[in-house]
Amino acid sequence: LVSAVEYGSPAAAAGLLPGDLILSVDGIAVHNTRQFLDHVAKRDPGVEVAIGYQRRDMHNTANAVLAERPQPQN
């Protein structure tokens, strides 16, 4: 479940909203946040992915271009 969407983020550009339920990434089913993050982490920044989601009773697909991931602080 999308809990928040940061302004200017790939999710915002794709039109995702808080409350949307993510169902798949590039046609691969995801059942929880960890699976979603694992699938996205396998792709390079700049790559477009198709995100299947449910909003209310409607199933939709949004395309998002992945951004650079922040580097961990040491």
Check residue 19 and give its pLDDT: 96
Check residue 68 and give its pLDDT: 83
Low-confidence residues of the chain, pLDDT below 70?
A: 70-72, 74
Check residue 71 and give its pLDDT: 67
Read off the pTM. Answer: 0.85
40: tokens are 């996205």
Work out whether strand 28-29 and strand 48-55 pair parallel, antiparallel, or are unpaired: unpaired
Helix, strand, coil percent values for the chain (each to nearest 5): 20, 30, 50
Number of residues assigned to the chain: 74
Q: Which fold has domain 10-65?
A: Pdz3 Domain (2.30.42)
Cβ neighbours of residue 35 closer than 8 Å, sequence gap 6 or more: none
Residue 14: CA atoms inside 13 Å, Cβ hemisphere, count? 25
Check residue 58 and give its pLDDT: 97
